[in-house]
Amino acid sequence: MTKDLILQQVRRHLKLGNQLRSIFVKWDKHSNQITLVPKKKEKIIVTLSILQFLVIIAKIWTITSITVNLIESFLGIAILAVSITTFLLRCHISSDYVQAQFLNCILLSKDGRNHGKQSHFLNYLVLFFDATELSYYIISSVHWLLVMFLPCQPGLISATLCSSNGLINANTIKLLFAAMEFLVFMQSGLGAAYYIITLLLTGVTFVLIECGTFVKLHKMGVADQIEYRRVQILEKLLNACTRKQIFLTTALIAPACQMTLSFVAVKLLHSGHGLMAVAFMWMYLVVWSFTVITFSAAAKLYGVSQKWITECKRTDRKKCARKFQISLKPLRLEFGNNFVEVLTPLVVQEFCLSKTVSFLLATK
């Protein structure tokens, strides 16, 4: 039942992403599976990505050319960091058939197994999908309100017209820029969420559940060691989809965004901008939750598989089994030439916390 809820969430996000032309896949009602969008729509998606890149260039120009106080500078950097993060995470120039096939494999397969207690991972995933959808509207609305009330704030594209006071004070112009900020972030946010949540987070969660279910069945004597190969295939498919760009970019960008948002939220709170600080704290919590859940799931996947392999080598001493066990490797989620180990989540969060505290002390 929970797996059906995940599928409903994925279909909902795909529909919203297709409406704003932000992702290269769609839900096909005729075949009841995820397929690639037509080539004509691919060109529209790439064009919108180029538009977002130009918007980021304009935002960088406003930060470097407009002189403001320290708090406004920090706010502008945070706005720019959010824009750059979503752009880099969704920056793909073409569709990937392997990604669609992997999602179809994990979401539509009917293996008939009872995953038992493992289903609580899926409950967390459903809640995170809901929180992500809420974040689309919250963060986009923050951009809208900033343009309407602080149009000359560096980091907003409306600030490019601040030299023309009469022009930027016109409500029609502010509404135009506010709508552009809202739609640009919605479009880029949906694209980024597809890669890091629908594909990466959902993928590692399902691989972890499959691994846990296999280990449980093997201990009960129901599953044979050779079935571990099925879980390895899922791991290889996930790494093929995410290792070179998606997870590598996430591992580099997400902690940096997390540090920036927490730093700015604290600065805004101490300067008396409570409402704005709450909005940035929400963004921080979403990024922090994603980072913790993703790295923890990947670390648990590595730990569970490594523990099972060690136990097999210790208990089964038959010659044939020993030869098979030599070829077994722990499941690991890779980014570039590295992979997530058991202590990686703690290392990442310790790094983020220490650097944030250092920045706060340096700007005290």
Q: How far is CA 49 from the centre of its chain?
A: 17
CA angle 206, 42, 195 (to 5 degrees): 25
pLDDT at 312: 79
DSSP state string for 98-146: HHHHHHHHHHH-------GGGHHHHHHHHHHHHHHHHHHHHHHHHHHHH
CA dist list (Å): 68 to 59, 88, 150, 288: 14, 27, 12, 29
One-letter-per-residue 3-state SS of 258-294: HHHHHHHHHHHHHCCCHHHHHHHHHHHHHHHHHHHHH
Residue 143's CB is within 10 A of a number of other CB atoms, namely 24
pLDDT at 249: 92
**DSSP structural state of residue 37:** P
What number is the average pLDDT over the span 21-32?
91
pLDDT at 112: 53
Q: Which of 276, 19, 279, 297 is nearest to 149 (CA)?
A: 276
pLDDT grade for 217, boundaries at 50, 70 and 90: confident
pLDDT at 23: 92
pLDDT at 1: 55
Task: Name the token pair of 116.
Answer: 């038992």
For the cut 80, the answer to whether the pLDDT of residue 189 exceeds it is yes
For the cut 70, the answer to whether the pLDDT of residue 305 exceeds it is yes
The continuous run of DSSP H or E covering 30 comes out as: none
Encode pLDDT of 94-137 as tens digits.
778 889 999 999 888 776 555 555 567 788 888 889 989 999 89
List the beta bridge partners of residue 339.
Answer: 334
For the cut 70, the answer to whether the pLDDT of residue 319 exceeds it is no
Task: Name the token pair of 89.
Answer: 């995470």
- The residue with greater pLDDT, 315 or 106, is 106
CA angle 70, 175, 60 (to 5 degrees): 35
pLDDT at 304: 92
pLDDT grade for 257, boundaries at 50, 70 and 90: very high
- The residue with greater pLDDT, 224 or 210, is 210
pLDDT at 275: 85
In this predicted structure, which of 219-233, 277-291, 311-325 has the lowest mean pLDDT?
311-325
Are 196 and 250 in contact by the 8 Å Cβ rule? The answer is: yes
- The residue with greater pLDDT, 253 or 119, is 253
Q: Which of 63, 57, 58 is nearest to 78 (CA)?
A: 63
Task: Tell me the longest C-alpha to C-alpha distance in the chain.
Answer: 85
Q: What is the dihedral of CA 8, 293, 26, 190, to 10 degrees?
A: 110
Are 131 and 215 in contact by the 8 Å Cβ rule? The answer is: no
Range of the domain at 67: 2-362
Are 175 and 9 in contact by the 8 Å Cβ rule? The answer is: no
CA dist list (Å): 258 to 20, 254, 262: 26, 6, 6
Question: Phi/psi at 221 (nearest 5 deg)?
Answer: 85, 10
**DSSP 3-state assignment of 91?**
coil
What sign has the CA pseudo-torsion 162, 63, 264, 268? negative
Task: Report the number of secondary-structure helices (H) and strands (E) in the chain.
Answer: 13, 4
pLDDT at 205: 92
Encode pLDDT of 4-21 as tens digits.
888 999 999 999 999 999
In this predicted structure, which of 98-112, 152-166, 275-289, 337-351 has the lowest mean pLDDT?
152-166
The continuous run of DSSP H or E covering 85 comes out as: helix 70-90
In this predicted structure, which of 51-55, 63-67, 83-87 has the lowest mean pLDDT?
63-67
Q: How far is Cα 271 from Cα 273, in angstroms, rounded to an integer?
A: 6
pLDDT at 111: 61
Q: Is 10 exposed, middle or buried (0-12, 13-18, 19+ CB in 10 A)?
A: buried
Query: Domain total for the chain?
Result: 1
Encode pLDDT of 220-236 as tens digits.
877 777 788 889 999 99
Task: Name the token pair of 260.
Answer: 């920036």
Percent of the chain at pLDDT exceeding 70: 93
Are 266 and 276 in contact by the 8 Å Cβ rule? The answer is: no
pLDDT grade for 56, boundaries at 50, 70 and 90: very high
pLDDT grade for 274, boundaries at 50, 70 and 90: confident
Q: Which of 234, 233, 214 is nearest to 225 (CA)?
A: 214
Indicate the average pLDDT of the chain.
87
In this predicted structure, which of 10-14, 89-93, 258-262 has the lowest mean pLDDT?
89-93
